[in-house]
Amino acid sequence: MANRLSRIRLSRRNFMVGSATAAVAMPLVGARAGSQPERPSETIRYTAPVKLTINHQPYELNLDLRTTLLDAIRDHTGLTGTKKGCDHGQCGACTVLINGTRVLSCLTFAVMADGREVTTIEGLAREDSSLHPMQQAFIDCDAFQCGYCTPGQIMSAVGCVHEGHAASEGEIREYMSGNLCRCAAYPNVVAAILQARDETRKA
């Protein structure tokens, strides 16, 4: 009696079985409690070395091949600015830039980003730590409340401008509709993008 969630995970796993490469041993501790019998420690299946470049910083990780780019960023590099809102490509909270293009990191396996340049919200501010014009505009226009969707909104906004989809309010609304904001700061997000658009193009 598998539910829908299970099926999704299973199909991911089955896919990975065929393409799994070297399994790299990770030190693990066996079960210590719970209602299951004690089990000997084992290795995680399907791991592989993955080289990620995030905000110009190289990372060499040993990852379960099923690890999404989102989980790799959050759980394995400690950069938790990128958020998980659905894990299914429905909310935009996990948006990052890969080679400058906006991408949903929850729908991207970490291995798919091997060798590519990933930019997260932590990498957007300039080297002197002054804010990117889009970040400043989000502050000026109060384009958030709880702030949870905000890293995704900002990365998406930068991508939207660079794609050339920020010509008018209407176009911004349309091309920012993959980023849900349950606090509903939408009009302020549009105002922020209009404010930062020209400077972002130059940046």
Partner 1 sequence: MSKEAPAPRENMGAPVPRFDARLKVTGGATYPADIPVADLAYGVLVTSLVARGSLAQLHTDKAATVPGFLGLFRHGDMAGTQPPKFGVAASSIGPLHGDRIFHDGQIIALVVAETYEAAMEAASLVTAEYDEERPSAGFDTQGTETTPGAGASPLFGEDVHAGDFDAAYAAAPVKIDEHYSTPTQHHNPIELFSTTAAWRGDQLTIYEPTQNVTGWKTELSRQLGIDPNRVRVISPYVGGAFGSKGPMTARTAIVAVAARRLGRPVRCVVTRMQAYGTQTYRAETRHRVRIGAERGGHITAFGHEGWEVTSRPDAYVVGGTIATGRLYAYGSVATHVDLVHADRNTPGYMRSPPETPYVYALENAMDEMAVALAMDPIEFRRVNEPTREPIGGKPFSSRSLLACYDEASKAFGWSDRESAVGSMRDGDWMIGMGCATAVYPTNIAPCAARVQLMADGHARVQCGCHEIGTGIRTVAGQMAAERLGVELTKVSVEMGDSALPPAPVSGGSNSTASVCSAVMKACDAIRNRLFLAVSGEGAPLAGAANSGMSLGNGQVIAADGRTVTLADAFATLQTVLIEEYAEFTPKGASPQALKKLYAGQPEFRGGERDDAVKYAFGAELVEVRIHTLTREIRIPRIVGAFAAGRIMNPRTARSQLMGGMIWGIGSALQEETEVDPRNARYVNKDLQDYLVPVNADIGDVQVILVPETDPQVNPAGVKGLGELGNVGTPAAVASAVYHATGIRVRDLPIRLDNLLT
Instruction: State the distance between the two ends of the chain, measured CA to CA, in whole angstroms.
Output: 53
Please, which of residues 1-30 interact with partner 1 by CB under 8 A?
1-6, 9-10, 13, 26, 28-30
Q: Does 192 bind ligand FES (CB under 6 A)?
A: no
One character per residue 14-33, x = contact with ligand FES (rule: CB under 6 A): --------------------
Q: Does 145 bind ligand FES (CB under 6 A)?
A: yes
Query: What is the rounded distance in angstroms from the CA atom of residue 130 to the CA atom of residue 107?
Result: 31
101-104: strand order across its sheet: 57-64, 47-54, 117-119, 95-98, 101-104
Query: What is the rounded distance in angstroms from the CA atom of residue 92 to the CA atom of residue 38?
Result: 41
Q: Does 118 bind ligand FES (CB under 6 A)?
A: no
Cβ distance to partner 1 smaller for residue 118 or 141: 141
CB atoms within 10 A of CB 39: 8
Q: Does 107 bind partner 1 (CB under 8 A)?
A: no
Q: Does 97 bind partner 1 (CB under 8 A)?
A: no
Interface region with ligand FES, contact rule CB under 6 A, candidates 38-46, 131-139, 141-149, 162-170? 141-149
Please, which of residues 141-200 interact with partner 1 by CB under 8 A?
141-151, 154, 172-174, 176-191
Containing H/E element for 118? strand 117-119
Q: Could you give phi then psi for residue 178, rounded to 5 degrees?
A: -85, -5
Interface region with ligand FES, contact rule CB under 6 A, candidates 80-88, 112-120, 156-164, 194-202? 80-88
